[in-house]
Amino acid sequence: MGCFGFLKFMMFVFNGIIFLAGAAILGVGIWVKVDSGSILNFLGKIENAPSELSQVLNVGYLLIAIGALLLVIGFLGCCGAVKESKCMLLLFFIIVLLVFIAEVAGAVVILVFRPLANDLIAKLGTAAVANIKKDYGKSADITGLWNTTMTTLNCCGFYNSSDFVGSPYYQIHNQQYPPQCCSNSYNQCNQTMAMTTGCFPKIKELVDENTVVIVGVALGIAALEICAMAVSMILYCRIKSRSA
């Protein structure tokens, strides 16, 4: 296998992975939009939620768009390499270049508007706590979603256990906290037993601990995109020179 054949093979394998990833992301996006019990639909039910949250709720459409785009990129890359199609390879290069530019622009926007995220989180926290105090223990959907979240993350409430004070569950169960708020297996969970770590601080801690990994993955994706554009242009030029 010569250098040209090796590049074709790598182009096929790389874009085959992209195609499968696109199919998976597309499936997740469709599930998010269809599943009424998803966390995003739960957020949409929170009363007095910040208006900016409506943009976050569109993540299902975003995942569908990203999945479809990856499917197209993977298809163009695979077929362009196998069929040695200059048109497909050029189109592949243009799309990947546009995606790369959009990612750089998105990173800049996130850095510039990062302070606004804290304000949005504060508004969301206020709405989430009010939602707990009103519906936890009364609404089966909201109670189940909070229980699942607290069990998974080993946390209690949005900020801390005091979020449940005054909630329907708190009143019905003689001022007890949900069992998920206590590390023991007993059904009774009073103030002295309840965890003080909320789910939002726990999520923030997880993000902070994995910042290096997230940045590394982002840089790795950027490097792969640059390599993909370089390989597609090399193949394009070789095919063009052979057909000339």
What residue type is 183 in one-letter code?
S
pLDDT higher than threshold 70 for residue 47: no
pLDDT higher than threshold 60 for residue 96: yes
**For the chain, domain boundaries:** 3-115, 136-203
Q: Output the DSSP codes for the chain.
A: --HHHHHHHHHHHHHHHHHHHHHHHHHHHHHHHH-TTSHHHHHHT-TT--TTHHHHTTHHHHHHHHHHHHHHHHHHHHHHHHTT-HHHHHHHHHHHHHHHHHHHHHHHHHHHSHHHHHHHHHHHHHHHHHHHHHHTTT-HHHHHHHHHHHHHHT--SSSSGGGGTTSHHHHHTTSPPPGGGSSSS-S---TTTS----HHHHHHHHHHHTHHHHHHHHHHHHHHHHHHHHHHHHHHHHHHHHH-
pLDDT higher than threshold 60 for residue 56: no
- Look over the chain and give the mean of its residue pLDDT values, rounded to a whole number: 79
pLDDT higher than threshold 70 for residue 157: yes
Q: At what angle do helices 211-243 and 199-209 cross, to 10 degrees?
A: 50
Does the domain made of 136-203 have the CATH classification 1.10.1450? Answer: yes
> Two tokens at 201?
């601080």
pLDDT higher than threshold 60 for residue 50: no
